[in-house]
Chain A
Amino acid sequence: MTIMKMEETAVVWTLLQSDLRPIQDVLSEFNSKFTRSRYFPVCSSLSILLQARALVPLPLPSSVLDFVTDPMILRSTDRLIAFAIMHQCYSSHKPSLNPFISEMINAACNEQAERYERAFLLHLFQWNSYNNAKEILKLSGADYIKTFDPSTNEFPELGELQREYGNKADGPSSHMFADYALKKLLHDPDVPRGCDPNSPEFDVQVQPGGISKIGSGDRNEAVSGILGSLTMGGLAPRWIRPCPPRYPVHQSELLWIDPDNKHELVWDDKMCADTSRGATVRDLLIKGLKVTLSPTEQEDITTALANDPKLVYHCGITPRKLPQLVEHNPQIAVEILTKLINSPEIVDYFTALVSMEMSLHSMEVVNRLTTAVELPKEFIRMFITNCISSCENAKQQDKYMQNRLVRLVCVFLQSLIRNNIIDVKDLFIEVQAFCIDFSRVREAAGLFRLLKTLE
């Protein structure tokens, strides 16, 4: 993207060439044609143009000094106007805020530059005795040069000016590549060095249709060419930035499609349906909560449950009702619990079983469950602990009942141990204490002996 637009370069170029108009007029015309936002681009272009001759690298290496004798592209009056514009654009700020201050300072201190140009810049800066900028600007560029007193020789050192006006910041560039950027304008080495482009020799009019003479050229063309094609930034060493490779396409990334099962919307056929599914079983079970069912009734329930594997989930036996069923119909309870073993609610049923009052039936249910399904260890442990404590609590009540319960527990425990349902080690101390407590009961003594043999 070039810095300046086509129209702008034409305007700037005419302004620069108005060497016979008072500089002030030129400046006010500049003000009228450019808005503030365009100042920077225009001044940037001017700054490059001012340095354009052959090659002017910014950090000036000593080896290029021999080029300095090459003629400037801008004529002396053009240069004055250019400097005036660059100064005026930022005159409302402190000089140090002028982005082009360092260029101007460098020019003002350049020993090789014309004295009138250096003096002109110092006037713009209002350096010490150089204070009649107003007067000078009323002159035209040509007049100023004509009237310049060549005896002026009080020029400041570079350092002095820099201290006074210089800006500490490094200018608009932000990183090292830009800092070290070269101005991109390069003298074409094919043009012989030292040839004076102002020599009239070249300014022969080209006949229409004729061949132009080698070496002929138009300075106007060069300047507006430069102005028109300047871009921001300079020529800097360039970094190679390899593009990351594309993430590899694995063959599974391409989507191989299988026709999937037709997943259809489902009609709810339970709508207004007979909800009596398993009603007889439900009724029987409600009855079974209160009385022991007859063998035929029990068989009815068993077959119904076997025929419909999901019926058990709808038969109305909740964990809360389980203890009643266990008391009256332990076999049915076992049946139901084994069928519910995969249910997520089975834990609740186990909890109900553990927390119900100990009885022959509850132990029978657990015992039969242990042979039918794998029960959680924690559950069996809790159940046993519960059994033992029930026996102890029964002390206060009925001696006969207590003995009976103890015998039951002992048989239950022996059965569990013999069937390898529990690991004795887990409960050894508890069970041993229990046996010792009730050593008067024959079964307890038997259990104790069994424990000893296992030890």
Chain B
Amino acid sequence: MLLFSRQGKLRLQKWYTATAERDKKKMVRELMQIVLARKPKMCSFLEWRDLKIVYKRYASLYFCCAIEEQDNELITLEVIHRFVELLDKYFGSVCELDIIFNFEKAYFILDEFLMGGEIQDTSKKSVLKAIEQADLLQEEDESPRSVLEEMGLA
């Protein structure tokens, strides 16, 4: 899963297969070139090497996913959409700047929702709740203990 801007700046990258660093960079460059060259009305699916690429543009950000031969393209589009919805709910009307400045939070959400490359299909509420619970932990020791105790988790 890659996120990049219209100018070709990478905002987020998550790899679900083991790939060498150099190959990763090459792939990212190639993919960005191909996707950025697509015109707006074109199909959201491409074939590239032995994978299928599904991409969608939201405002100035491109969300791009590579899937295997047997996977369903439309469902991947919806995976992307669901991720955007989660980001939107979490940041409250998300924009590219939110993702840029808080990219580690975007990663946390992505990890909660897609583990090992497979969607967990949990309800939107439980994904966001898990992130929020982890967020509530402050650096000071007193607060986290009491919140966790109150929530019955510790």
A is bound by B: no
Interface residues of B (CB under 8 A from A): none
Interface residues of A (CB under 8 A from B): none
